[in-house]
Structures are given as structure tokens and as C-alpha cells.
Chains A and B, each alone.
Chain A
Amino acid sequence: MKEFYQSTGYKKVEEFFLSQGFNPHRFQIDCWYAYNQGLSGLIHTATGSGKTYAALMGHLIEAINNANSNKNEVSGLKLLWITPLRALANDTLKTVSYAVSQLIPDYNVELRTGDTSQSKRAKQAKQLPEIFITTPESLSLLISYPNFFELFSGIKSVVIDEWHELLGSKRGVLTELGLARLKRVNPELKIWGISATLGNTATAMEVLLGNKKVSGKLIGAGVSKNTEIETLIPETIENFPWAGHTGLKMIEKVCELIDSANSCLVFTNTRSQSEIWYQAILEQREDFAGIIGLHHGSIEKKERNAVENLLSEGKMKCVICTSSLDLGVDFSPVDLVIQIGSPKGIARLLQRAGRSGHKPGGVSKLVCVPANSLELIEFAAVREGIMASFIEPREPVVKAFDVLVQHAVTVAIGTGFNKNEFFNEVKSTHCYRELTHDEFDNILEFVCKGGKSLRAYKEFAKVKFDENFYFVDDKQIAKRHRMAIGTITSEPEVIVKYMNGTKLGTLEESFAARLSKGDNFIFSGKSLEFVRLRDLVLYVKKSNSGEGPVPQWLGGRMPLSTMLAKQVRERLNNYPSENSKFVEITAISPLLELQKKWSEIPSNGTLLVERKLSDEGMHLFFYPFEGRLVHEGLASLLAYRIGKNIPASFSLAYDDYGFELLTDTEFELAPDEIAVLFSEENLIDDILQIINSSEMTKSKFRDVARIAGLIFQGYPGSNKPVKQIQATGSLFFEVFTKYDPDNLLLKQAVREVLESQLERKRMIETLKRICKSQIILRETKYFTPLSFPLMASRIREKYSTQKVSERIKKMQIQLEKAVLKSK
């Protein structure tokens, strides 16, 4: 028998590579070998290093080799390619189609996303092409077709692109369930994931492959990409940093950097910031008009595509963007990335750095621009983290009942299911491997009867059953469910349009509601004037004022990652011994010296607490350095626990470094009393108390309800009267809380608040760490450099933005004076 490398397929692929002018990489060959042995696996590597061909060619080699022996094989789907982003799907289509046209001209390669035309979809619903590129949601949609088994009967392998992006989200869960279903069609199915490097690649593969019956191979690409990271050091260091700063003071230097590059990407952390920076750069450099672009998730897709195309054609000097450009598409001309503000995670910065020098062997160049002086420490920390190869893990989602509810209905609409077979299928996924029969029965009860108590859900019928077979026979229900498939949830949004109907993008309703006729605002890089708001459409016309507020979008702000937080603590602990190692630390020394003089620099093994009396009352500042979410939880926990003994009301503020409790009641608190407040005892009970009295569960419930199909957003482009069955998340929440408090979805909302909103695990770890630490309590005469941003953020929540910035400016002046005096 011929060796694998001597096979026709292998030789053809090798020739294809040579004709393109390069040799296959070692890791690519490893993949093809593993594939040839029938293995599944995960390829993890930096971007731009040939992953697509690593994952694709195994299948093509096999197909070419089998072409002679299997003349009668049916046409139709052989390889399914799942990608998290539509934008990426187009790019993949190009790359894959090209290789396939050279190697197996008979093969059809097509894609299907939310944008695919109706007629094409109808054709695809009858027969799929040999290679089919799609998103997890579109796969779910195909599962809802009664001919699902026929459509996929010829499937040999699946590729999941950018798996790290799906892992850790409910879209990942949807993918896991889809794969389990595909394995029912072909138990020999080969599953290959492609992922950026994660702190937990082994787990990432385990989740992808599901039950242990499939053996997997982890393949790391040996091509290490060079990453150069620098920090732009501000000329003056503010001793009182304010988190609201945008970093615009550095604009001249940033423009110089843009000038020096061939093409560059400027990443900001929020959409508002990207709008602000875009305006500022244009003001600074009029000659950039027309060659710089703006790209974020709320800008109309056409506009974004245009920017992306210009970028890859090398016609863009610079694009200001958000995480919207974190992923995927090759922008080969880009040779510089600028990060404005802390990336809050090591992996994220690496990913963004990888957007430049996007060719095999290329060098990634990234310049960090601090938005406030404290971020210098974060940049030093992130550089050290990268040098030490610390990369954050992504934790997979476990037992998401809402996704299972959706999937069960999807399958019931499609082929229907047998109870026991479906249980085993679901249980074979990582997400539901601990699913109990009881829980599964609850899910079925929910989709068949609405919930546990029979009386409460009369007349309800969605999924029907005949002994152990579950199905849906109501066409309306099926239609509505298909419309709602997917797990991405979004806030109610307002579409922004010119009077002639041209779409510009979307805004949050709350921002639009504050505007009135004639108001100017900045959006999509344009100065616009409000004309009218009707039925969630905001009509605007161009304005020449160039002024006005920039919209704020909620969400998307990530807390400092656990790993980066640890690095930040290390940098502070080691101060001042690392001054020679990090320019950032040298630069920020004056601020740290002041912190030391007025209070203390936090160090390992201690928890710094500052107490300060002011006209407003008593301020208590705590600095665990564990990220905003944990601090939010801890702040509520402490306020609750103190409040049990001392009648006082608090105002809370939190950032990535610590939190503040402010109260008008003055009381003494000894270090050992503080230590008790951080005890793990009764933790869960106390947290549940906090959750119940807050809005957190309610807002989480909206997402859960939407995924589980309670909130129906209507048929796109149709004005059918669906209003009769529309209600808001909070309305559902109230009804469930009152009349079915044991409801499955309510419980899940609470669990999600615990796990993802409050980061329960991380909070417990933090409490453990603090319990072992020595509490250092400092009475401070002034607000310290660390406490100032916390105090400032609390004020920001009290007043409207403009007045606030003025007031804060005033306070900064006062404080700077205090420094001079104490000198």
C-alpha cells in the first residue's frame, strides 16, 4: 500500500502549495496526517499563518483519494464550515473556493448567512453544496427542516473557525448541540476547530469534540509571530487620573504614528470613543479626510463593508475601530495597530496586535496609548503577561437551559425526536454532560406544557408528544420559532436614516429619546441633525455644526481579566524595583510616590483600605484589584453586611482596581472588623439577598426569555399583527415571579447573574485571598491618586456628563493645589 504522502491527493495538494510559492508548514502536514487517521482536533495558532488550509486540505486529500474508489457516491454536502461572523464567511468563501477550484473542480462551495437570498436558501433547503460555509444560527435553522437527515447524509467533516470566539458564549453551546446532532448523522464525523491560542486549549478541544468517544489531536502551529509592543508615554502624568478621560491629550503623537505607518488600525474600547477619536483626528489632520475610516458594530453594514474593502485594498491610511475588527478578515496592508486605553486582557491585546503584519512570518507592531495615567501600569502588566506567555482561558458555558429549550423546539420542528435518544444526544455535549433526567424532564415539560404547574399553563401547547416521540405540527409555531432562532440578544435599537431612506446604523433607544427636533449629534463619523423619531426610526439630515453629543452604547465593557489583574498587582508589589524594566512604571512613579506618601501602595499579602471624611460624608475605599464586576459584587456585599449592624445607607462606586462605599453616617471600623466583612461564611445567602433586591436578575431574565422564545421580535419586513403576543422582559419577569416562582428560566437568570454578572467563582477566590491578607487601614487627609477615579466615577453617575466634567476639572485643580502645599 502506498504511504499517505505518496497518495494522489497529498501530491496534488503539495503541488498546489508549491504553485502558490510556498511549502506546507509542519503543523499543516500534522493536521492532514491526523485527519487521514480519522482523528478530530483543534488547531491553535496566531492569526495569518495558514490555518484555513490546515483544516481544509485533510478533507480535500481524502476526497481526491476516494474519488476513484467511490464513483457512485452521492453528490451533496461533504464538509460543513462554521464561522462566527458573516464578514468572515465571505473571506473564507474566497480562500476555500480558490483552492477547491484548483484541486476538485466538481465541488461546489457556497455560503449561507442571514444575508443569503430567499431563492438561494430555498435551493439549499433541497440540496446543499459539497462545501457549505455558514454560522451556528444558520446550522440551527437547517436542523429545523424536516429533511435534515437527508441534507446532511453525506457529511464527512466539520470545521469550526475561530472557535475561541464561540467558546464561552451561548452561541458556542448552540454549536455544541448542532455538532451532537451531526454526529447522529455520521458517528465517524471528523470535527476540526481553529482557534487563537487560549490559556485552556485542551478544554477548548474537549468542549468542541464533546463526549470522549472521539479522540482528538491538539495541534499548535509552530510559526511564532513576532510581536512588538510599545507604550506611548504622556509628557505630563496627571496625579489624579480620571477614568472618563479619552486619551485625547495624546492626539498629536497618535497622528504622527498614523503618518509613519503604511496603514493602521486604531482600536478603542467603546463605540463612543471610536466616534470621538475619529472626529478628533479629522480636526487635527484635515489632510486625512477621505483616507481614514470609522468602524464599529452600530454603523450600517454597507458602510462597514466599504471600509473593510478599502482597507484590504490598501486604500485606507487608518481605520478607527472597536472589537468589531478584532476578528478574521485579512487586512494585509496593515502594518501598525494602536490601542487606545487598556485592553483589559492579555489575549485581547495579542489578538489585536495580530491584526498587523498579517502574513505568515510577519511582525506585529502595536503601540499602546493610555487613556489615563493609571493605565500605564496595566500596559506594563500586559507586556509582562505576554512575555511570560500568560494567556487567559475561556470558560465554557455549562447547562444553559434557555439554549436547550430553543434547541429542543428546533429539533421537534425538524425531524422530531425520541425522548431517550435525544437525551443521550444532548448529554454527549460538554455543556450538558451533567444534565440529569429530572432536569431534562423539566425542559420537556416546559416546551410541552409551559411549566410545572398544570393549572398555570392551560391552553398551552407548543411541542406535542405521542408516547416518547416529540414533534411540532403547528406551522405558525414553526415559522415563528425559525424567526427567533439564535442566541445573540440585543437591546431595543433605533435605526438612523437620512430623509431619503439611506441607513446609517443603529442607536440605543434611550439616547434617541433624549433628542428633540433640531438637536445636533455625532454618529457614524458624521455631524447630524435630528428631524423626527417615528416607530423606532430616527430621521436625520446632515448638519454643519460639527458639534453635539456622541451616543453612548451600553455593554461591551470588559472587566480587567483575572490574569491581567494579577500582573497589575505584581507590578505594584514590585515597585520601585522594576523601574528600569518598564518605562511605564518609571513614568508613573510620581503618582505612585504620592500614593505612598498620602497612603500606601498596595502590595501582595495585604488589602489596602482608605478612610476619608469629606463634606459628603465618610468614604471607604477598598483596593482588591480584581476587576469591575467582582468589585461591584463586593461593594454590594459589604454595604449589605455593614448595613446589618449599622443603620446606614451607601452610595457605591467601583472600577477595575477597587470600590468605594460612601455614607453620611460616620462610624469607626477596625481592621479586624473589616476582615470579618470579607468572610466566606453565609456568602451565597448574602449574595442571593443582594440579587433579589437589585435589578440584575430582571435584566438578565430578558436575555434568557428571548433565547427561550418568550420574547418575539416580529417578522422582519412584515407588518403582520404580532403585537398581540409581544411583551417586555420585565413584564414576563413580574408574571413569572408572582405566579410561577420555581420556573426554570427564572432560576437560570439568577444563576447567570451569580456566575457571569457577579463572577461568583472569582469573587470567592478573591474573598479567600483577602481573608489571608493583612488589612491595612489608612485614614487619609486627601483623596489619593487611587481613590480619586472612584470618587469621580460616583459623581459621574449623579450628574449629567457635561456639568460633571466641569466639576471634576475643578476638583482636579483643587487637588493639584493640595499637592503643592504638601510639598
Chain B
Amino acid sequence: MNEISTINILGEEFQPRSDKTLFWRSENCLIVSDIHLGKTATFRVEGIPVPEGITDSDLGKLSLALIETAAKKLIITGDLFHSPKGKTTFIIDRFKRFRDENKDIEINLITGNHDIRSGSLHSELCIAETDSLIIREKFRFIHENDNKPGYYNFSGHIHPAIRLKGKGRQSLRLPCFYFAKDYALLPAFGGFTGTAVIYPVNDSIIYAIADNELVKLTS
């Protein structure tokens, strides 16, 4: 395990983890974004052959993160499921199994653009779903960042990555956490998701994820 990184936001300690989850200790809460369950299934249904395997891997990783942090609460900042076509019985079964294994966890889903299309199953799965969530009056969770004033906004949606340049014309593109002064962008958790390169503004803190390690960068 690498060292624990923490970042202080408005007096609270947040812990970005190399598994692309964010842990909020004083709330005992794990935050994760853009899982896109059933994305490979969507491809298959549409006639594009992509093997299965990601679902088990993603849900396994998430269970492990819950165990490691002993979190009691899980906030998903959107895009739990990828599309209606991808919500096959197989995928639903797997998610139900995950829910059973983590019965005691309170799950809050912030509705993402993909969730709107995918339709709701969430009461059956004991998931509370809202468009946004505010905790302790100043921390707000939303799928797509809208920079709402008066809050520190946590969001996902864009699957942020950072481009690093090195010697020998090397260029690396790494998924990252991005903490600006009044908002944070979370990396996409799902194993079959792409990334979009972001260009940092001054005074932001970035945690890039390189082969299961966090690399802290400041702009």
C-alpha cells in the first residue's frame, strides 16, 4: 500500500485513493463516480464484441474499498449504469449480489445523464437517488459540475485525466482527481471507461493515478 494522501477542504479531511475512490473519514463515507455498469454488455447487444469480466472486477474493487475504509456510506456521483440495453439480467444479478454483500451500506446515487436513460431500479436495490446532495451545508455532490456558488462541489461526468510530458517526447495520459479552489472532479471508476484530458488552472491540486499509485501534482 502506498502512503495515505489527504487533502483538506474547508476544514475537512478527504482521502483520494489509488483505486479511484475518495474517502471522507469524519463522515465514514466513500465517494465514487462514473462506474458505467453494463457498458461492455451494451456493446455486445449492439453487435460489437467486447468480452465480459469488467463487471466482476469493478464491483469487486468497490467491495474491497468499502472493506478497507470500513465506510458506512457510499455516494455515487452519477452514471452507475451505462445504458438501458446494458442492464441485462446478468448485470443486474451481479449488482444485486454486490448489494447483498454490502447490505449495511447506505447508498446515495446522484443521477447522472446515463442514469436518466437507463431508467430506475433503485428502490428495488435500496438506493436513494437524488439530483444533488448537500452534506454539512457546504459540501455538495452533483454529477456534472455547475459551480454552484456557496458550496464546494464534487462531481464526475467528464472522466478527468491529465497529460504529463517527459523526456524523449514521452507523453503520459493518466486518470486523476482534480481539486480546484471550490470544486473537485472525480475520476471515472469503471474499468471500461475512457478519459478526457483537462487543463489545470492555477492553484489546483491533482492526484494522478499511475499503476495503482497516486502521484500528487500542483499546478
Contact = CB atoms under 8 A, between A and B. Distances in A.
Given A476-B46, A724-B82, A798-B168, A457 B52 contact: yes
Contacts of B41: 458-459
A213 interface: no
Contact of B50 (A462, A712, A735): A735
Interface in B23-55: 40-54
A16 B210 CA distance: 72
A450 B46 CA distance: 11
A735 B53 contact: yes
A542 B112 CA distance: 41
Contacts of B136: none
A461 B88 CA distance: 14
B54 A739 contact: yes
Given A651-B168, A710-B49, A724-B82, 8 more contacts: A458-B88, A462-B49, A474-B47, A477-B47, A731-B192, A735-B192, A739-B51, A740-B51
The bracket for how many chain B residues form the interface is: 20 to 34
B49 A727 contact: no
A480 interface: yes
A412 to B, nearest CB: 11
Interface of A: 446, 449-451, 453, 455-462, 474, 476-477, 480, 513, 651, 709-710, 712, 724-725, 727-728, 731-732, 735-736, 738-740, 743, 797-798
A725 B53 contact: no
Contact of A738 (B53, B85, B88, B193): B53
A460 B46 CA distance: 8
A725 B48 contact: yes
A458 B168 contact: no
B108 to A, nearest CB: 25
Contacts of B48: 462, 709-710, 712, 725
Interface string B42-79: 11111111111110000000000000000000000000
A780 B168 CA distance: 25
A462 B82 contact: no
A662 to B, nearest CB: 11
Contact of B51 (A480, A725, A735): A735
Given A735-B40, A738-B53, A460 B47 contact: yes
B169 A798 contact: yes
A267 B148 CA distance: 57
Contacts of B40: 735
B42 A462 contact: no
The B contact surface, by secondary structure, is loop
A797 B169 CA distance: 5
Contact of A736 (B51, B85, B193, B194): B51
Contacts of B83: 724
Contacts of B90: 458-459
A3 to B, nearest CB: 58
Interface in B104-138: none
B44 A458 contact: yes
B52 A456 contact: yes
Contacts of A480: 46-47
Nearest to B41: A459
22 contacts: A450-B51, A456-B53, A457-B50, A457-B52, A459-B45, A460-B44, A460-B49, A461-B47, A462-B48, A474-B47, A476-B46, A477-B47, A651-B168, A709-B48, A710-B48, A735-B40, A739-B51, A739-B53, A743-B51, A797-B168, A797-B169, A798-B168
Of B50, B85, B169, B197, most A-chain CB atoms within 10 Å: B50
10 smallest beta-carbon distances between A and B, as pairs: A450-B49, A739-B53, A456-B51, A462-B47, A460-B44, A739-B51, A740-B51, A477-B47, A459-B44, A797-B169
B191 to A, nearest CB: 8
Given A724-B82, A731-B192, A735-B40, A446 B49 contact: yes
Interface in B87-111: 88, 90
Contacts of A738: 53
Contact of B42 (A725, A732, A740): A725
A457 B41 CA distance: 8
B50 to A, nearest CB: 6
Nearest to B48: A710
Contacts of A450: 44, 49-51
Of B49, B83, B169, most A-chain CB atoms within 10 Å: B49
A513 B168 CA distance: 19
B42 A724 contact: yes
A320 B48 CA distance: 43
Nearest to A725: B46
Contacts of A474: 47
Contacts of B167: 798
A451 B51 contact: yes
Given A458-B52, A797-B168, A731 B44 contact: no
A480 to B, nearest CB: 7
A798 B49 CA distance: 40
Of A451, A462, A727, most B-chain CB atoms within 10 Å: A727
A731 B45 contact: no
B193 to A, nearest CB: 8
Contacts of A459: 41, 44-45, 88, 90
A134 B41 CA distance: 38
A732 B54 CA distance: 12
Nearest to A481: B47
Contacts of A462: 47-49
Given A457-B49, A460-B49, A735 B54 contact: yes
Of B40, B44, B50, B51, most A-chain CB atoms within 10 Å: B51
A748 to B, nearest CB: 14
Contacts of B168: 651, 797-798
A810 to B, nearest CB: 20
Given A458-B88, A458-B90, A732 B169 contact: no
Interface string B174-196: 00000000000000000111100
Of B41, B44, B47, most A-chain CB atoms within 10 Å: B47
Interface string B152-168: 00000000000000011
Nearest to B171: A510
B212 to A, nearest CB: 14
Nearest to A409: B47
